[in-house]
Amino acid sequence: MSIASQLKITRAQFYLISALILLIPVSREYKLYLFGESAEGKVIGSSAAFQKFSTRYNGSGVRKVYNTMLKFEFEGGEYLCVSNMDLDLPIGLEKKVLFKTEDPYDSIIANPMYLYASRSTVLVAILFFMWHSFYWSFIKPYQEKKSKPTP
């Protein structure tokens, strides 16, 4: 008995699982999005570090990785938000910053798309691709074959 014959996944379940996979990067910072304070931060600079990489097909090399720094004010104090999302934003640009009131240094840029620009999003993309490949290769063809009347 094949795996496809044992799994009965409806279209709604397929889309629900796809949406949950796409929400993984946001779920890492959900507490800041739901319970955090927000303030306008101003980009004051970015630091660049050089990271070595090695790939099977392209060889090895060095790539530039950016950490953008934003300054924001909260209850009369100035705080620094250092974003490790590999973005090089122009100096002076204002962005909303989310932070914890207990520790304003624990902060992120308040844009979900920046969460998808991080380096760890590659794993989410691979998981999403694998889920779709599995569904469209095994489950969907089996369901269509099973629903066709046999002569």
Task: Give tens-digit pLDDT for 19-60.
Answer: 999 888 877 777 888 888 889 999 888 777 777 777 667 677
Q: What is the dihedral of CA 77, 45, 100, 97, to 10 degrees?
A: 100
How confident is the model at residue 119, as a pLDDT? 65
**Across residues 130-141, what is the average pLDDT?**
81
Q: Count CB-CB contacts under 10 A for residue 107.
A: 25
Segments making up each domain of the chain, as ranges: 29-125
Which residues 6+ apart lie within 8 Å of 143 measured at CB?
8
Select the more confidently predicted residue: 148 or 19: 19
CA 79/CA 77 separation, integer angstroms? 7
Answer with the residue of higher pLDDT: 96 or 84.
96
Query: How many helices and strands in the chain, by DSSP H and E?
Result: 7, 5
pLDDT surpassing 80 at residue 72: yes
Could you name the CATH architecture of 29-125? Beta Barrel (2.40)
pLDDT > 90? residue 16: yes
